[in-house]
Structures are given as C-alpha cells and as structure tokens.
Structure 1
Amino acid sequence: MNKRLKTLLIKTKRQVFSEMIGNNPSLFHGEGYDFSELREYQVGDDIRKIDWTITAKLQKPYVKLFHEERELHIVAACMMGGSLFFGTHRIKQEVVAEVAAILGYSAIKNSDLFTGAIVSQSGEMVERATKRIFGVNRFVESIDGMKVLGQSTDYVKGPRRLFKRIKRRSVLFLIGDFLSAVDLGLLSKRHEVIAVIVRDRFEEHPKPLGQVHLVDPETGATLQTHFGEKSVDRYRAQILASDKALYHHLHKHRIRFVKIYTDEDPFGKLVRLFGGRM
C-alpha cells in the first residue's frame, strides 16, 4: 500500500469514526429489542445472536431476529474504466476509492454488512460481505491500484450483471463518472440504488486549447484536432444533453444521486446527501 493511499485511509477513517454523529435514517438503523423470528445464519451475522438451542436441534446455525432490527447490506459498486484516469485536481479514480472507503467505514461503524464490487470490461468482482475494517481496506486498495487505462465501462450491461450477482436486497451505491448511456431500471427494482457521480470540472467546462493531440483512455484511439471555441460549444452541448437524460432516468426510477468533483471533499458531500447525518 503506497503512502498516498495510507494517508487517504487514515483521513477517511478519522472522518467517519470521529466526525459522524447519529445514524442516517435511510442507511443505518438502530437495533430493537422485541423478539420477532428465527432465520438461518448468514455470513456476517453477529454470532452472539445465534440461538444455540434451536441450532442444536436442527443441526444448522440459526439467529434470533428482533423487531426494529434492520441490519442492512451496503454495497459500493465501482464502475471502473479508462475515463476515470483523468483529473485536473486529482484523478477521478482516487475519488472513487475515497468514496468507497467512506461507505465501507460507515457500514462497519453502524454494524451493517459491507460488500465491495468492481464492474469493468472484464466482468465484475464482488467481494464477500464483511464487517471488518481489513475487508474495507483491501477493497479500497484494489480500487486505487486497478489499471483502468484500456478498460471500458458499460452502464447498461454492468448494472444488469450486478442484478444477477447481488441477490440480497441492498443499499447499493453505484460509483462512477456516468459519461455514457445508463440503465438502472432493473437494478432499482430490487435494491435501493444511490448514484455517486464523480467528475472533474474541466470535463463539463473545458477551455479552448487550440491544436491538441487527444487519446481515448478506453480504446487508445488518437486524434489530432483543433479544440477551439466552436468545439467547446459543441462538446458542452453534448455533455448537457447527456446529463439531462441521466437526471431524467434517475428521477424516473427514484434514484437519489450526488455529484462529487475532484476538487471537493467526498465526505462532506455524502453527509449533505443524507441530511447532515450518516
């Protein structure tokens, strides 16, 4: 683990465990005390809640559930592609890693299950659900160190593959730059989906650069062109049209979202998304 990532994790951990006050009502619910039912033990359940009498009789571990106890499954699904290898303040990939760390530590702090998922051109990698800080650190390190150049991201097929892989109803954070067509309709039918849009301000408000040599970070294709005022206007119009379609889609499926720029503090933006509490 490099020094930069260690510093990021230390900072993020301090923010989550020292600065968070209370529990967000949409994410982190408190435990109740009235017995409700028994169910078979699942990986990550608190072993202190195992009913040993029933376990002995049925030869399978069972845990007690209580009214008002709503342990959630928090999923941070990172859409990894070459377009994340860009940034004027810092690259978007680093922000994605920091967001994943914040969500992971927040889940651990509130005794919820956390699962990290990487969605890329080569498929998806879904980590085993965890309640341990070590598991969060390992996932964030894999995000930060991933070689994204040459990888493309599909916001239509990727979420559909996630739908098949993640069976348990979850609070699913989809983290990426959302620069291509999106379809989260199917995913939102099973999960509470929250979109975390990571952008660099230059992507939305570029300046004329004159003669430039451009390289597509996903395909490696190159282009020699003049990027002047007219090119900027056309580009901005395309970005605005794309984002308008994105926001319409998110509203249609009742998906909350937040946009985080590379020069902003992800922790502060996430806290504001959830009404000041997480």
Structure 2
Amino acid sequence: MTEKRIKKLLIKTKRQVFSEIPGNNPSLFKGEGFDFVELREYQPGDDVKKIDWLITAKLQKPFVKLYREERELNVVVAVMLNGSMFFGTKRFKQEVAAEVASLLGFAAIKNQDNFSYLLFADKEYGSIRPTKNMQAVWQMAKQIVRFQPLGKVANFAALSARLFKIRRKSIIFIISDFLEPFDLKVLAKKHEVVAIVVRDRFEEKPESIGFMHLIDPETKKSMMVDFEGLTIKNYVKEIKKLDHKMYTHFKKSGIRFTKIYTDEEPFIKLLKLFGQR
C-alpha cells in the first residue's frame, strides 16, 4: 500500500468520525460502569448480566449491581495480523483492519478517551501506551498496512494473556478474521471485549475455479487443490461449523461482535454495532 493510499485512508476515517458523527458522542463506546455504587432490586429492562447471583440466592429476589460509569474510558484496539489477513478479492483484509482500527482510534480520541493499540500475530509486534494524541492513530495505521503477515500464525492465547495484564478495566476491540482457534472467555470477564470479524466473501462462498496452486499464508506450504463440487461443499461446511462455534463463544462470553467484509463500508457497520443507525 503506497503512502498516498495510506494518507487517503486516514483522511477518510478522520473525516467520517469528526464530521459524520454529530458532536462528542460518549455513547459510541458505552462501557460497563467501573465504580460500584449500590445494590437494588431487579427491574424489567435491567441488564441480566448485572444480577448479583449470590445476593439473589440469599434474599430469594433478583438484585442488580449499580455502577457509576467513568467519564473517561480506556479503549484498546488489538489487531491480529497472521498470514490469512493477507488476502482479499476486493481489498486485502489487512487494509480493512487498518481502516477499522483507525475509525476506532479517532473515535476514542474524539470522545477524549484514552487510546492504545496492540499489533499481534505469533507474538507482539507493536504497541503504544494509552494516549490522546491523534498521531498515535496515524502511527498505528501505517504499522498495520506495512506489516508482513505471510508466514506468521495467530497466537490468541498469547494475545489474551497480554491483554489480561492491562490493569485498568478497558473496552478492548479485537480485529481478526477469527479463522484460527481462540478463547476469549477469561479476558471477557475482566474487560469488555468487542470482536470485529474481517472476512472476504470468497472465503465463505468460493466459486468453482478448478485446479489451483495454493500457498498456505501461515506455513507458506504450497499445494494443488481441485476447487470444484465436493471440495467446495466440504470446505463451506467446515467454515459454517467454525463460524457457529465462533458466534456461540461470543454470545456465551458476553462479547459484542460484527462481521465486516472486504467489499463493505466499515464506518456503516461500526455505527450499526453501536446502535447509531
């Protein structure tokens, strides 16, 4: 990706956040309240995740914990840049991830929240301490698009362990294609986790293209594959099984999520995720 395209991407995302979202909008990143205030009896419409089950069991009535939400949030953008992110029929997933991360970064800074990022694959490749400096977003985007993901595997266990070490409760956005095994359950108990799934439609609904020489983007091993009938059918079946497991994990862990394809507009999908449109 050329410097000109990187600059164009950053100008676009900055304009969308600062011009198309009216005013300071703290509800864009609506995190859990961090300071405990009191217990009160459950009322219709309360979030069931805030029920204190121990008190409920003792008093035989449902009670919820009330919190005072901090004005200043801690927003962390974590991008998984393993080999499979170097793919796309419309745009590379890696480029879409850079756009999504930039939108989140600019939104955090516009809301005067603390912003930090973490670039990961088999290990950590880049990060910055919490800041409100807009240059951090530019730095992050450039690092993402210039990164060489080929030959790198996704290590979600190491990423989760690294993010778990963040002391202050944070809103953590994890951007990945989530095609590799992962477990965010423990991390989601400490922090509020939001998953942004970046995919190309061809990955989920491939066309019949006959014999093709493929290279595994993580191991760099090459192979000849007959991408026809039964092969495609079995592949699609496995992808659906993988996604069902992924969605189930997100829902059980209380993780908000959205899927953004390489031919979609990330800004619109993020607004929908946060209930802005």
TM-score range, shorter chain: 0.7 to 0.9
Residues 1:145 and 2:137 are matched in the alignment:
no
What's the secondary structure of 2:98's corresponding residue?
Answer: helix
Listed one character per residue, the Cα deviations across residues 183-208 of structure 1 (whole Å, up to 9, x for unaligned) are 00111011100000000000000011
Runs of 4+ displaced beyond 4 Å: none
Cα distance in structure 1, aligned partners of 2:20 and 2:162: 36
Q: Which residue number in structure 2 is paired with residue 201 of structure 1? A: 201
Letter in 2 for 1:245: K
Cα distance in structure 1, aligned partners of 2:147 and 2:93: 13
Contact kept? 1:194, 1:256, Cα under 8 Å: yes
Cα distance in structure 1, aligned partners of 2:123 and 2:197: 22
Letter in 1 for 2:87: F
Listed one character per residue, the Cα deviations across residues 206-253 of structure 1 (whole Å, up to 9, x for unaligned) are 011111101001110010121111000000000000000000100001
Q: How does 1:1-278 map to 2 (within 5 A)?
A: 2-21=3-22, 23-25=25-27, 27=29, 69-123=70-124, 125-164=126-165, 166-276=166-276
Contact kept? 1:210, 1:227, Cα under 8 Å: yes
Cα distance in structure 2, aligned partners of 1:17 and 1:147: 31
Letter in 2 for 1:275: G
Listed one character per residue, the Cα deviations across residues 156-208 of structure 1 (whole Å, up to 9, x for unaligned) are 332123212x2221000000100011200111011100000000000000011
Cα distance in structure 1, aligned partners of 2:172 and 2:115: 10
Q: Which residue number in structure 1 is paired with residue 63 of structure 2? A: none
| TM-score, normalised by the number of residues in structure 2 | 0.83
Q: Which residue number in structure 1 is paired with residue 39 of structure 2? A: none
Shift of 1:69: 4.7
Contact kept? 1:28, 1:110, Cα under 8 Å: no
Shift of 1:68: 6.0
Cα distance in structure 1, aligned partners of 2:255 and 2:30: 18
Shift of 1:15: 0.3
Unaligned runs of 5+ in 2: 32-67
Unaligned runs of 5+ in 1: 30-66
Q: Which residue number in structure 1 is paired with residue 43 of structure 2? A: none
Contact kept? 1:28, 1:112, Cα under 8 Å: no
Q: What is the number of equivalent residue pairs in this alignment?
A: 239
Shift of 1:28: 5.6
| TM-score, normalised by the number of residues in structure 1 | 0.82
Shift of 1:254: 0.7
